Amino acid sequence: MFGSIGMPELIIIFVIALIIFGPRKLPELGRSLGKSLAEFKRASTELRSTLEEEIHLEEQRANLEALKSTTATTATTATAAATASAAGAATATTGASPATAAPAPTSAAAPTAPAAAPTIHSVEQPMKTDRSA
C-alpha cells in the first residue's frame, strides 16, 4: 500500500508524533497502540480457528451423510439380491416362472405378517322336530 518505508521515513514520522503529542503522551500512545494490535491479532487468530473448526465439522457431516447413503444403497442392493435369490429359489422348487412366482418382501426392515388362517364359526341351529304327526 505505502510501499517500502525505510529508516528515514520512520524517523520523520516519530519526530512529527513527538511534536504533536509531546514526550509525556507518546509512551502512553505507544502502549495503547501495542495493546490494540495485540488484541486485533488475538481476535484474528480466534476467528481463523473458529472458521477452520466449522469447516472441519461440515466436512465430517458430509462424510457421515455420504456413508449413510452408501450404507442405505448397499442395504437396498442386498435386499434386491435376496429378493431375486428368493424368487429364483421359488422357481426352482415350484417349477413356476419367475414372473408367476410369489413375490418376496421388498423391505427387510418391515416384513409382512403372515396372513391369518380363516376361522370357521359353527352356529348350532336347533333341530326341527315335526310335531304334526
Per residue in 27-73, pLDDT (tens digit) is: 898 899 899 999 999 999 999 999 999 999 999 999 999 888 888 88
Q: Is the pLDDT reported for residue 86 higher than 60?
A: yes
What pLDDT sits at residue 1? 45
**10 Å Cβ neighbour count for 86?**
15
Give yes or no for a contact between 81 and 87, defined as CB atoms under 8 angstroms apart: no
